[in-house]
Amino acid sequence: MPSPNAQDSNVQGHYNRQGLDEAILAALTAAGKDVYHLKLEDLAPIDEFHIRGREATRELASQVNLNSNHKVLDVGSGVGGASRYLASEYGCQIIGIDLSDEYCRVAQSFANRLGLASHVTYRQGSALEMPFDDNSFDVVWTQHAAMNIADKPKLYSEITRVLRPKGHFAMYDVLAGPVSPLHYPVPWATDSSISFLVTPDKLRELLEASGLNILNWRDTSEIGRVWFKEVAAKMQQQGGSPALGFHILLGPDFRVMAQNQVLNLNENRIVLIECVAQKLPA
């Protein structure tokens, strides 16, 4: 297995797309959007980079009771869709951390365009060595990020460390299903060298060992399957992929990545889990 630093470099390489903000702006223009007067929903087809997009973000957020007094950390913030939505909807202060410096740059650029710079900031860094003090955040949030992280005990230990006592951890992730191996490539990995999935049982064990008490746990795999069918039907009706979509983030291989993701889900090689946990008091 590659060293942690080599793994980080390989993960960064997988997501690295230079000139990404320019490509997104061009796609927005092609989709008929006014790039000088963008709305949050204009970006939703690309900046909610996880299965079920904005719908999944809304559902997870509704379980955490966010408000404007909360300080939130988004681990694996990507191009910033979820964090901008949370800041806009709930008025909370959010810091996003992501391995990809290009994603962080793009995320901040669009936060500025949407007038959210006073609520959202982004920092390039590793989730295994987060540059934040102990007990810094009321909520730690992550969606579709842990799949690229091999050292799960360290990940959840770091999340618990920066979370305040009785604070909430909200996650929505792709986990290992009962059937293996995966069909590659998938959106988070071209092969198994940067794909590290654990089973639901193992995840529960890891969270509890890190000092987190699981409050809500839901398998959303079937909901994900229905969503993919609806997306496929819509694309067929429209005659192909829309101008604005995840293909901009992942390049020409995205079509086969998406097909494999659906196949893995349908064959129970992956499962989708939504979870909210609370940090136990010291």
Whether 274 shows a pLDDT value over 50: the answer reads yes
Please, which residues bridge with residue 218 across strands?
274
Whether 138 shows a pLDDT value over 50: the answer reads yes
Q: Where are the beta strands (DSSP E) in 87-152?
A: 93-98, 120-124, 137-143
pLDDT score, position 252: 86
Please, which residues bridge with residue 146 across strands?
none
Mean pLDDT of 11-39: 90
Helices (runs of H) and strands (runs of E) counted in the chain: 11, 7
Residue 80 φ/ψ, nearest 5 degrees: 95, 10
**Residue pLDDT, tens place only, 43-59:** 988 889 899 999 999 99
**Residue pLDDT, tens place only, 80-89:** 999 999 999 9
Domains of the chain, by residue range, sit at 4-178+193-223+271-279
pLDDT score, position 71: 98
What is the value of pTM for the model shown?
Answer: 0.94
Q: Tell me which of 6 and 130 has the higher pLDDT.
A: 130
CATH number of 4-178+193-223+271-279: 3.40.50.150
**Residue pLDDT, tens place only, 79-123:** 999 999 999 999 999 999 999 999 999 999 999 999 999 999 999
Average pLDDT, the chain: 93
Edge-to-edge order in the sheet of strand 137-143: 120-124, 93-98, 71-75, 137-143, 163-176, 270-279, 212-219
Residue 155 φ/ψ, nearest 5 degrees: -55, -55
pLDDT score, position 240: 64
Mean pLDDT of 228-246: 77
Whether 220 shows a pLDDT value over 80: the answer reads yes
- DSSP at 18: T
